[in-house]
Amino acid sequence: MNKQEEILLEAERFVQKELAADSSGHDWWHIYRVTKTAKKIAKAEHADDFICELAALLHDIADEKLNVTKEAGLKKVTNWLEEHHIEKHQLEHIMEIISTMSYNGGNNEPMKTLEGQIVQDADRLDAIGAVGIARTFAYAGWKGHAIYDPTIPSRNQMTAEEYRNQKSTSINHFYEKLLKLKDLMNTNDGKRLAEERHVFMEEYLKQFYKEWGEDK
């Protein structure tokens, strides 16, 4: 096993331990799926697969929902990378990806590097389609939000703070984020896979309203 393979294996163990008990949609299997997708897109795009895989594995360790502050979360990742003697330029690249890739209510700048675009696409693909729908309801349950409430309208524009802290519903989340992701994908593979998952979400919503007895 070479040095990079060893680091990836250690990262996997670290993440499995850190996220084992998570029920907010950031459990180990989310990381597993995102990493698998990131590796596949990295190959198609001839990108740096070590950076893509390591950033994908570590991307939610720093999530602000799971840490006291965003800074504390990022520090945890930096420390891990330093302890494992990752080269400086690689550490900086990974930190740049992890600190800028989240949706943030649609308020973040586009990703700067191909590797960042790939990891962001992989994470976003896991937020849509059948898996994305499951994660949305799991997250809403974790937050104490309702499945649907026709008296609460979905928000069009919102600050990062409002996106994170105002009470909304699972169904509103489709309009506030999930249905927008298709047009925000970076890579060809990302766009193609997002298209299929998008159609499935539209079908799902149609059936949901039909059962609810609401015309949409």
CB of 135 to ligand ADP, least distance (A): 4
3-state secondary structure 74-114: HHHHHHHHHHCCCCHHHHHHHHHHHHHCCCHHHCCCCCCCH
Instruction: Give the residue with the Cβ less far from Ni ion, 22 or 123.
Output: 123
Residues 123-162, mask of contacts with Ni ion (x by CB under 5 A): x---------------------------------------
- Compute the distance between CA of residue 78 and CA of residue 80 in angstroms, rounded to an integer: 5
- Compute the distance between CA of residue 147 and CA of residue 77 in angstroms, rounded to an integer: 34
In the block, residue with structure tokens 């520090």: 75
CB of 60 to Ni ion, least distance (A): 5
Write out the two tokens for 148: 């649907």
Q: Which does residue 170 touch among ligand ADP, Ni ion, none (CB within 5 to 8 A, set by kind)?
A: ligand ADP
Q: How far is CA 20 from CA 1, 124, 132, 180, in A?
A: 26, 21, 19, 30
Instruction: Give the residue with the Cβ less far from ligand ADP, 86 or 117.
Output: 117
Q: Which does residue 197 touch among ligand ADP, Ni ion, none (CB within 5 to 8 A, set by kind)?
A: none
Instruction: Give the residue with the Cβ less far from Ni ion, 1 or 41.
Output: 41
Instruction: Give the residue with the Cβ less far from ligand ADP, 90 or 106.
Output: 106
Sign of CA dihedral 135, 122, 209, 106: positive
CB of 84 to Ni ion, least distance (A): 21
CB of 89 to ligand ADP, least distance (A): 26
Q: What does the CA dihedral 57, 170, 117, 122 come to, rounded to 10 degrees?
A: 50
Instruction: Give the residue with the Cβ less far from ligand ADP, 78 or 102.
Output: 102
- Compute the distance between CA of residue 88 and CA of residue 104 in angstroms, rounded to an integer: 27
Residues that bind ligand ADP (CB under 6 A): 25, 63, 102-103, 127, 132, 135-136, 139-140, 145, 168, 170, 173, 177
- Compute the distance between CA of residue 104 and CA of residue 159 in angstroms, rounded to an integer: 8
CB of 76 to ligand ADP, least distance (A): 16
Instruction: Give the residue with the Cβ less far from Ni ion, 29 or 212.
Output: 29
Under rule CB under 5 A, residue 60 binds Ni ion? yes
Could you list the residues that contact Ni ion (CB under 5 A)?
A: 60, 123
